[in-house]
Amino acid sequence: MSESRRKPPAPAAFSPEDMARRRRRSIALALVLGGLVVFFFVVTLVKTGPAILNRPL
Amino acid sequence: MSAAFDTRDNGVALTSTGEARDFFALLKPRVMSLVVFTALAGMATAPGSVHPVIGLASLLAIAVGAGASGCLNMWYDADIDVLMSRTAKRPIPAGRVLPSEALSFGLTLSVGSVLVLGLVANLLAAALLAFTIFFYAVVYSMWLKRSTPQNIVIGGAAGAFPPMIGEAVVTGDLGWHSIVLFAIIFMWTPPHFWALALVKSADYARAGIPMMPNVAGPASTRRQIVLYSLVMAPVAVLPALMGFGGLAYLVVSVTTGLAMIALAIRVWRTTEGPAATKACYSLFGFSIFYLFGLFAVLLVENGLGLMWALPKVIG
C-alpha cells in the first residue's frame, strides 16, 4: 500500500455556499432543540398541574 | 445527523449539502398535514375531551411519527425514486441528502415521536403510532410495494390509522367512531392512488413496481376503481347515521360521494387519449378534496359544536 493510500481522507474544502448552507442547517437545528425545551417544559407543567408547586422545600 | 463523509471519490471526502428544507421534505409534509388533519378529526369525534396542550402535543408527536415513516420510506425507495419523474427530485435521489443521514433522521424521529406520545398521552396511542410507522416503513415500503398489486390496498391501512390514534389519545381506548373513520380512508385509498397510477403506469413499469394498472391492466383497474368508490361512498355516510356527523355532514358526504362515483364511472368509460388522462386527474384531484371535505365537516361539527344533530340510526 502506498503512502498516500494510508492517509485518512481529507475533508472536502467548503465553498462559501457550502458554509452558508451548513450555517442555515445549524440554525434550524438550534431552533428545533430550543422548541423542544419549551415543549417539554410546557407539557410537564400541564401534566403535573398545580401539584408542581406542592413539594417539600 | 450522521457524519457525512464518504471516501468513494478517490479518497476525497464528500459532505452532505442538505439544508433544513431538504430534511423537512423527507418528512413528506403534504402527507403529514393529511395525517394531522385526520388524527384531529379522530380526536374531535371521540367521546370525551383532552387538555388542549396535551392534544396539541399529541398531534405534534403524531405528525413527527408520520413524517418519520415518510422519511424511512424515502430512504428505502431512493433506488426506484430516481427512476420516476414524480419522485426523482426528492432529496436523496437528487443527491442533496445522503441515505445514511435520512436513515438516522427517520429512526431518531420514529423513536422520539413514539416515546413522546407515550409520555404525553398514553401507551395505547404510542403503540398505535409505533405500529403505524412499522406498517408504513416495513410492511408497505419494504414488502408490499414491490411484491403485489394489492400494495396500496393493504398499505392504505397505514394512512387510515391516524384517526384511531387520535381517539386513543382522548379516550385511552378504541371505539366505533374511529373504526368508521379508518374504514373511510381505507376504502378511499385505492380509487385515489389508482387514478394516478393509470396515468403514471410507464413510470411504475420503469421502476418495476407492480401497481394494479401494470399487473391487472387498465381495464381491470378502472373497474376496481368504480367498485371501491361504490363501497366507499356509503361507508362515508355512516358517521351521520351513527350520530357523530350532523345534517351538514350528511349533505356533504352524500353529494360528494355521488360526485366521486360519477368521476370513477367517467374514468371507467373514458379509456383513450387525453380525455382519459383528464378523467384520471379529475378523480385524483377531487378525491383529495372529498376526503378533506368529509373530515373538515366532522371537525367543524364536533370540534366547534356546530352540529345540527340527526337521529341515531346505527349504534
Least confident of B8-22, B80-94, B172-186, B293-307: B8-22
Sign of the torsion formed by the C-alpha atoms of A38, A44, A50 and A51: negative
**Closest CA relative to residue B113, chosen from B52, B50, B39, B47:** B39
pLDDT at A16 (0 to 100): 84
Tens of pLDDT along A3-49? 555 666 556 677 888 888 888 989 999 999 999 999 999 999 998 88
Q: Chain B closest CA to A12's CA: distance in Å?
A: 5
Mean pLDDT of B172-190: 95
Q: What is the 3 state secondary structure string of B105-166?
A: HHHHHHHHHHHHHHHHCCHHHHHHHHHHHHHHHHHHHHHHHHCCCCHHHHHHHHHHCHHHHH
Place B303 in a pLDDT band, splitting at 50, 70 and 90.
confident
Model pLDDT, residue B1: 37
pLDDT exceeds cutoff 90 at B93 = yes
For residue B218, is pLDDT > 70?
A: yes
Judging contacts by C-beta atoms under 8 Å, the chain B residues touching residue A11 are: 5, 13, 15
pLDDT surpassing 70 at residue B227: yes
What is the Cα–Cα distance from B219 to B240, expressed in whole angstroms?
Answer: 34
Q: Is the pLDDT of residue B146 over 50?
A: yes
Lowest mean pLDDT among B77-81, B84-88, B124-128, B183-187: B84-88
DSSP structural state of residue B9 = B
According to DSSP, the residues that pair with B9 across neighbouring strands are B12
CB B239 within 8 A of CB B249: yes
Phi, psi of B12 (to 5 degrees): -85, 125
Whole-number Å distance between alpha carbons of B209 and B217 = 14
Nearest 10 degrees: Cα torsion B253, B254, B257, B262: -160
**Residue in B15, B57, B60 nearest the CB of A18:** B15
Please answer whether residues B91 and B97 qualify as being in contact, where contact means their C-beta atoms are separated by less than 8 angstroms: yes
pLDDT at B14: 60
CA distance B29 to B35: 10
Residue to test with chain B: of A26, A46, A52, most B Cβ within 10 A: A46
Nearest to B11 among A9, A18, A21 (CB): A9
pLDDT of residue A9: 58
Contacts of B302 (CB under 8 A, 6+ apart): B41, B44, B45, B244
C-alpha–C-alpha distance, residues B14 and B23, integer Å: 18
How far is Cα A24 from Cα B17, in angstroms, rounded to an integer? Answer: 11
Contact between B36 and B99 (Cβ < 8 Å): no
Taking 50 as the threshold, does the pLDDT of residue B10 lie above it?
no
Q: Which residue has the higher pLDDT, B38 or A56?
A: B38
Task: Over range B194-209, report the average pLDDT.
Answer: 92
pLDDT band at B8 (very low <50, low <70, confident <90, very high): very low
Residues contacting residue B248 through CB under 8 Å, at least 6 positions apart:
B297, B300, B301, B306, B307, B308
Answer for the pair B109, B65: CB distance below 8 angstroms, yes or no: yes
Residue B296's pLDDT is 95
Give percent of chain B above pLDDT 90.
82
Question: What integer pLDDT is reported at residue B38 of this predicted model?
Answer: 94
Dist CA B91 CA B75 (whole Å): 10
Burial of residue B161, with CB atoms counted within 10 A of its CB: 0-12 exposed, 13-18 middle, 19 or more buried? buried
Contact A47 B120 (CB under 8 A): yes
Residues of B in contact with A46 (CB under 8 A): 51, 53-54
Partner residue opposite B5 with nearest CB, options A11, A43, A47: A11
User: Region B217-243: what's the mean pLDDT?
Assistant: 96
Query: Which pLDDT does position A22 carry in this prediction?
Result: 84
The angle, 0 to 180 degrees and rounded to 10, between the axes of the packed helices B162-171 and B151-160 is 30
